Amino acid sequence: MSRPGRRIVTTALLAALCAAFLYQIGLLGMVVWFNFRDPSNTPVMQDTLNTLRAEDPQARLAHEWVPYDRISANLKRAVIASEDSGFVDHDGVEWDAIRKAWRYNQRQADLGRARRRGGSTITQQLAKNLFLSNSRNYLRKGQELILTYMIEAVMSKRRILELYLNVAQWGTATFGAQAAARHYFHTDASRLSSSQAARLASMLPNPAYYDRHGATAYLQSHAATVRARMPQVAVP
């Protein structure tokens, strides 16, 4: 390659690196913003709404923000017990859980089974919900990890859990603890019992499925396991 050609390539690479760096700085600024401001919408919510409106232009999402103190301690314990038992102690990513999930999913794929296991922490799931989407590829996963460490560096565990419980998807068009409590149990998020909270927490890996199919035998069994684990977990 000629000297002018190398100069062009080098300039292009430097420009790409600068753009990527500025993009990450912008994301860090948004993380700081969400540490103090409650989101009214997320990319996952918008993607879901767009999908629903493709079939029904009048479709709407059920979502209502509630502060941390108005969410039942039962739900906080249930979600941590079900999704991320080491939440209060880890730095955002549990690499061992990711490796175990990857090996499990490989075995499931080899056996032709559809069930998959996630290795994501609550912070990783929050990063996806607040900034990314439900798509699965290595580039998105890499960005999720970067965002996860940003979130852990900026936010307290209490704030992370508050955000997660308010933006998590709990049904086809249901987002957040308050909308979920009303949709499934006709109550407020602050009044959820331990059994109700365990059931909601058990729905999180596949909320739209359980919204359509109700309390399956697997869901009830997993909810019982979660309920038994709840007293053992720490809550921020």
Q: Which pLDDT score, from 0 to 100, does residue 11 have?
A: 78
Q: What is the mean pLDDT of residues 167-193?
A: 96
- DSSP type of residue 63: E
**Domain boundaries, given as residue ranges, for the chain:** 38-232
Q: Which pLDDT score, from 0 to 100, does residue 138 have?
A: 75
Q: Which pLDDT score, from 0 to 100, does residue 105 have?
A: 60
The per-type count for the chain, helices as H runs and strands as E runs, is 11, 2
* pLDDT digit string, tens, across residues 144-169: 999 999 999 999 999 999 999 999 99
Sign, CA torsion 192/93/32/25: negative
- DSSP type of residue 85: T
Q: Which pLDDT score, from 0 to 100, does residue 51 have?
A: 92
Q: Which pLDDT score, from 0 to 100, does residue 63 have?
A: 96
Euclidean distance between CA atoms 144 and 18, whole angstroms: 20
* pLDDT digit string, tens, across residues 125-138: 999 999 987 777 77
Position with higher pLDDT, 3 vs 22: 22
| Strand partners of residue 174 | 62
Q: Which pLDDT score, from 0 to 100, does residue 21 have?
A: 83
Type of residue found at 201: A
* pLDDT digit string, tens, across residues 24-66: 899 999 999 999 999 989 999 999 999 999 999 999 999 999 9
CATH fold group of domain 38-232: Penicillin binding protein transpeptidase fold (1.10.3810)
Position with higher pLDDT, 6 vs 82: 82
* pLDDT digit string, tens, across residues 64-123: 999 999 999 999 999 999 999 899 998 888 777 667 666 766 666 666 665 555 568 999
Q: Which pLDDT score, from 0 to 100, does residue 35 have?
A: 96
Q: Which two tokens stand for residue 161?
A: 């859990």
Q: Which pLDDT score, from 0 to 100, does residue 97 have?
A: 67
Euclidean distance between CA atoms 90 and 215, whole angstroms: 32
Q: What is the mean pLDDT of residues 168-186?
A: 96
Q: Which pLDDT score, from 0 to 100, does residue 169 have?
A: 95
Q: Which pLDDT score, from 0 to 100, does residue 93 have?
A: 83
Measuring CA to CA, how many Å separate 78 from each of 3, 20, 32, 202, 210?
62, 38, 27, 8, 17
Mean pLDDT of the chain: 88
